[in-house]
Amino acid sequence: NAGVTQTPKFRILKIGQSMTLQCTQDMNHNYMYWYRQDPGMGLKLIYYSVGAGITDKGEVPNGYNVSRSTTEDFPLRLELAAPSQTSVYFCASSYSGTRSYGYTFGSGTRLTVV
User: Does residue 18 belong to the site contacting another protein (CB under 8 A)?
Assistant: no
- Give me the amino acid identity at 76: L
For another protein, the binding residue among 13, 31, 64, 113 (CB under 8 A) is 31
Q: Which is nearer to another protein, 50 or 82 (CB)?
A: 50
For the CA atoms of 33, 39, 41, 42, the dihedral, rounded to the nearest 10 degrees, stands at 20
- Looking at beta carbons only, is 97 or 114 nearer to another protein? 97
Q: Is 103 in the site for another protein (CB under 8 A)?
A: yes
User: Quick check: 55 binds another protein (CB under 8 A)?
Assistant: no
Closer to another protein at the Cβ: 90 or 113? 90
Nearest to 67 by CA among 83, 78, 58, 55: 55
Give dist(CA 106, CA 25) in Å, integer.
9
Count of CA atoms in the C-beta half-sphere (13 A) of 49:
26
Tell me which stretch binds another protein (CB under 8 A): 14-22, 39-47, 69-77, 78-86. Answer: 39-47
